[in-house]
């Protein structure tokens, strides 16, 4: 069969003797009528693997997404100049981080008055609208990063501050005092610097060179506000 395929049966051949004259009388398999082009076997195999993600178990799908999110967390914690965060952006990580942060931050020090820490909705709005504003700002300044890539990077770089929130929560279980405050201040400052360094490593390259500072300053303001919310959190 392969030999028959190799001879293309070109209509333009001027050989007087038909090469495979008797071949048409041979039927390869009585059951399957072969007609149409003979495809390369590799292509049919890949078509099978495409449809196989539809048939895989739910556990596989979830684990694949979780692994992608985890890999991006590692990229944020050890920021190198890699393109993984930008190329395969997703918004699961930012959502998980934002919800965790908002749940932990909500209504610190409830006294029945209007004073108090931010509500869940306030944290959520600040994080998402802040990220959207910074993205719009960098795009308006002429950056060549796409909208969702930028949201993805800004959301993932909240991870150090979420870790800082967890540490602060644990430290606040101890007795309050100036030492308590200094430890929390130190942790929050370190994580704030880490967030800025991580997001700048990903975002700064996409800006025109004479506007980098203009694009990075709102990122600084954004993480500063989140750090202040974390630092001023006092449990009731």
Binding residues among 101-140 for another protein as defined by CB under 8 A: 108-109, 111, 113-118, 122, 137, 139-140
Chain position carrying tokens 């992608």: 68
Q: How far is the CB of 19 from another protein (least distance, A)?
A: 57
Backbone angles phi, psi at 37, to 5 degrees: -80, 155
Q: Which is nearer to another protein, 20 or 224 (CB)?
A: 224
State the Cα–Cα distance between residues 191 and 200, nearest whole angstrom: 14
Give the length of the chain: 236
Q: Which is nearer to another protein, 19 or 179 (CB)?
A: 179
State the Cα–Cα distance between residues 108 and 106, nearest whole angstrom: 6
Closest alpha carbon to 66 in 89, 92, 37? 92
> Which residue in 47, 64, 67, 211 binds another protein (CB under 8 A)?
211
Size of the site for another protein (CB under 8 A): 30
Query: Judged by CB under 8 A, does residue 213 bind another protein?
Result: yes
Q: How far is the CB of 13 from another protein (least distance, A)?
A: 50
Of 78-86, 150-158, 167-175, 210-218, the window that binds another protein (rule: CB under 8 A) is: 210-218
Question: Which DSSP state fits 152?
Answer: H
Query: Judged by CB under 8 A, does residue 176 bind another protein?
Result: no
**Count of other CB atoms within 10 angstroms of residue 209:** 7
State the Cα–Cα distance between residues 178 and 208, nearest whole angstrom: 44
Q: Residue 117 in contact with residue 233, Cβ under 8 Å?
A: yes
Query: Judged by CB under 8 A, does residue 169 bind another protein?
Result: no
Of 25-33, 95-103, 159-167, 221-229, the window that binds another protein (rule: CB under 8 A) is: 221-229
Q: How far is the CB of 230 from another protein (least distance, A)?
A: 11
Q: Which is nearer to another protein, 18 or 176 (CB)?
A: 176
Of 23-31, 45-53, 149-157, 205-213, the window that binds another protein (rule: CB under 8 A) is: 205-213
Burial of 17 (0-12, 13-18, 19+ CB in 10 A): exposed
Chain position carrying tokens 């333009």: 12
Q: How far is the CB of 134 from another protein (least distance, A)?
A: 10
> Which residue in 9, 70, 142, 176 binds another protein (CB under 8 A)?
142
Question: Which DSSP state fits 31?
Answer: S
Q: Residue 199 in contact with residue 153, Cβ under 8 Å?
A: yes
Which residues of this protein are in contact with another protein, per CB under 8 A? Answer: 108-109, 111, 113-118, 122, 137, 139-142, 210-214, 217-218, 221, 224-225, 228-229, 232-234
């Amino acid at each position: 069969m392969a030999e028959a395929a190799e001879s293309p049966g070109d209509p333009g051949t001027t050989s007087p003797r038909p090469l495979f004259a008797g071949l048409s009388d041979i039927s390869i398999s009585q059951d399957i009528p072969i007609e149409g082009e003979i495809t390369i076997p590799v292509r049919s195999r890949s078509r099978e693997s495409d449809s196989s993600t539809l048939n895989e178990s739910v556990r596989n799908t979830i684990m694949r997404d979780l692994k992608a999110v985890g890999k991006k967390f590692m990229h944020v914690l050890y920021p190198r100049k890699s393109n993984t965060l930008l190329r395969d952006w997703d918004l699961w990580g930012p959502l998980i981080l934002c919800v965790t942060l908002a749940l932990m931050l909500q209504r610190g020090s409830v006294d029945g008055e209007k004073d108090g820490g931010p509500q869940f909705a306030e944290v959520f709005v600040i994080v998402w609208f802040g990220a959207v504003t910074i993205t719009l700002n960098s795009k308006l300044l002429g950056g060549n990063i796409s909208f969702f890539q930028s949201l993805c990077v800004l959301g993932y770089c909240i991870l150090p501050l979420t870790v800082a929130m967890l540490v602060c929560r644990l430290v606040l279980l101890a007795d309050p005092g100036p030492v308590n405050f200094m430890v929390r201040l130190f942790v929050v400052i370190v994580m704030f610097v880490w967030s800025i360094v991580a997001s700048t490593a990903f975002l700064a390259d996409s800006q025109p060179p004479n506007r980098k500072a203009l694009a990075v300053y709102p990122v600084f303001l954004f993480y500063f506000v989140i750090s202040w919310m974390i630092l001023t959190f006092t449990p009731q």
